[in-house]
Structure 1
Amino acid sequence: MFQKRGIAFIDMDTSYKNKVNQISNGARIVFLDRDGVVNKCPGDQKYVTNLSEFEFLAGVLSAIARLTKIGYSVFIISNQAGVSKGMYSSDDLKDIDDYLLKMVKDAGGNICGIYYCIHQDKDECLCRKPKPGLIFKAVRENEIDQAALKRSFFIGDSIRDVLTARQAGIKSILVFSGKEKFNSKNAWEVNPDYTAKDLSSAVDLILST
């Protein structure tokens, strides 16, 4: 374990993790994919490699603030194989995290933890989506009970995210602000529980269910 700029980082064999805050018992949970949900998607098979390439999508900061203010604990769950490919480093991820967390906090929101898998499919790890390892790690480390997990949502922009939610036993919301588009639904491997235009619309949906 080592410290950088006040936030603890832990090197693990299954994931790269930035654990930020503890959550309260019985909290309602929302898991978010990052690229294409929180920030602009860099494109298929492309990565946000440094802070200069990171750009929040419209309405995201206010959407996270809304979730925070009504008692939801928000986590980010993201594949970042570009690290293991040598395209950027964990320090680059840290720079993005610092900025993301500051902007979310300044807008009145809170991120309880950021969990990344830096592996590639060929590594056959347990944490790379669509495997649910990162969600289960967040559950264990934050002592989220099974009842809270079953009530939670995973908001993502790809069918891989939908599959992750299904394997974790939670509800999925597929947003069309990133990779997937509504007009490609006939090619989807599985159907999400819900669809929404973007994160703001997904939050509206959560509040109405």
Structure 2
Amino acid sequence: MPAAERLVILDRDGVINQDSDEYVKSLEEWIPFPTAIEAIARLTRDGWTVAVATNQSGIARGYYGVEMLEAIHVRLRELVQEAGGEIAHIAHCPHGPGDGCACRKPSPGLLEEIREALALDSLEGSWMVGDSLRDLQAGEPMGCRPVLVRTGKGRRTEEKGEGLEGAMIFDDLAAFVEWLLAREGGANDAQASPFR
């Protein structure tokens, strides 16, 4: 059973792959950051567990179906496996903003699904990595440590500066993973940019 302290939960769009205001509706439109794929693989190789929590309201809006979402996630898993890594669980919310569900971030439902899927007592001490405030807010009641990346909507989120107290900020997922693994190895955290 994985330990929560060695679990990294990732948002998808804007963290693992390019985001789009028009939604990522097909395999052709799903463009992963190569450095993010390698970063996930590095975590796995170092004994960390990686999970994904992603809002996918494009399903509720009729832009694409669950089958397309699954095809994208199959491709994501394949790329990570080819790089020597693994994604332990992918949790998605198919609902729209007005559906009143418990899973759409900033609600913590997706993280609760991850906790149950990984048979963890809690997510206390795990890391929640996202490019928007709602990603970090989803992790807060679960005891996750917040990390904002500047890819995707991250720079806009950082510029707003609201609700980022206590969050660490990195240029991208690869930079966070570099810091995390160096930190574990006893190196200093000079590369980290805690929000002030």
TM range (shorter): 0.7 to 0.9
Q: Does the alignment pair 1:41 with 2:41? A: no
Where 1:181 maps in the other structure, the secondary structure is helix
Residues 151-166 of structure 1 aligned to structure 2 (within 5 Å)? 151-166=125-140
- Tell me which stretches of 4 or more aligned residues in structure 1 moved more than 6 Å: none
Where 2:18 maps in the other structure, the secondary structure is coil
What do the CA deviations read for 1:38-78 (whole angstroms, capped 9, x no partner)?
A: 001113xx310010101111311210111001111111100
Find the aligned partners of 2:142 and 2:75 in 1 and give their Cα distance.
29
Find the aligned partners of 1:150 and 1:96 in 2 and give their Cα distance.
29
Q: Which residue of 1 aligns with 2:43?
A: 67
Where 2:9 maps in the other structure, the secondary structure is strand
Q: Cα distance 1:105–1:185, how it changes in 2: closer, same or farther (>3 A)? A: closer
Does structure 1 retain, via aligned residues, the 8 Å contact 2:125–2:143?
no
Q: Which residue of 2 aligns with 1:14?
A: none
Q: Number of aligned residue pairs: give it.
A: 181
Once the two structures are TM-superposed, the CA of residue 165 in structure 1 deviates from its matched residue by: 1.7
Does structure 2 retain, via aligned residues, the 8 Å contact 1:77–1:135?
yes
Does structure 1 retain, via aligned residues, the 8 Å contact 2:8–2:128?
yes
Q: Does the alignment pair 1:105 with 2:81? A: yes
Find the aligned partners of 2:2 and 2:147 in 1 and give their Cα distance.
24
What do the CA deviations read for 1:170-194 (whole angstroms, capped 9, x no partner)?
A: 1011000110217x63523301520
**1:54 is matched with which residue: 30, 38, 42?**
30
Q: Which residue of 2 aligns with 1:188?
A: 161
Residues 12-27 of structure 1 aligned to structure 2 (within 5 Å)? 24-26=1-3
TM norm structure 2? 0.87
Does structure 2 retain, via aligned residues, the 8 Å contact 1:131–1:167?
no
Where is the strand percentage greater, Structure 1 or Structure 2?
1
Q: What is the root-mean-square deviation in Å for CA atoms of aligned residues?
A: 1.6
Does structure 1 retain, via aligned residues, the 8 Å contact 2:131–2:151?
yes
Q: Which residue of 2 aligns with 1:150?
A: 124
| Structure 1 gap segments, 5+ residues each | 1-23
Identity value in percent: 36
Does structure 2 retain, via aligned residues, the 8 Å contact 1:159–1:188?
no
Does structure 2 retain, via aligned residues, the 8 Å contact 1:26–1:145?
no
**1:172 is matched with which residue: 123, 129, 146?**
146
Moved more, 87-96 or 198-207: 198-207
**2:7 is matched with which residue: 29, 43, 52?**
29
Moved more, 57-66 or 71-80: 57-66
